[in-house]
Amino acid sequence: MKIGELATLTGVSVRSLRYYERQGLIKPLRQDNGYREYSPLAVDTVETIKLYLNLGLSTEEIAGFLHCVLKNKEAFCAEVMPLYRSKLEEIERQLVELNQIKLNLQDRMASILQEQQNEEE
């Protein structure tokens, strides 16, 4: 299938598919005229890439284990669990940071409201 067909079937833009190719995540055959030709398995590959992107992983991280998860169950890919743990730790740090920012904003807003109230009195 051509790149446009793959884009339609997966809901991924042609631009993103070309990016996945540059990252080594998908590997089309090239016809004599230079057109990309994708196997039907490319649909599953792109759907798998989408799944991992939705988990917050980068294409670089996905490239490290994609071949394994396409051939085996995820549970049998040694690279996956450490990456998940690392990503979860990163998210936990971000949540702490975001919560602190939220508290700072709430304090600042309360201070402004208090100052406005004092001005009105």
Kindly state whether residues 20 and 64 are assigned to the same domain.
yes
CA dihedral of 18, 39, 63, 90, whole degrees rounded to 10? 80
Predicted confidence (pLDDT) per residue in 44-80, tens digit: 999 999 999 999 999 999 999 999 999 998 889 999 9
Q: Which of 36, 54, 72 is the last residue of a domain?
A: 72
Residue 10 pLDDT exceeds 90: yes
Let me know whether 28 and 50 are in one domain: yes
Residue 120, pLDDT above cutoff 90: no
pLDDT for the residue numbered 63: 95
State the chain's mean pLDDT as an integer.
94
pTM comes to 0.81
Q: Which domain holds residue 46?
A: 1-72
What is the distance between the alpha carbons of residues 10 and 75, in angstroms, rounded to a whole number?
Answer: 25
pLDDT surpasses 80 at 87: yes
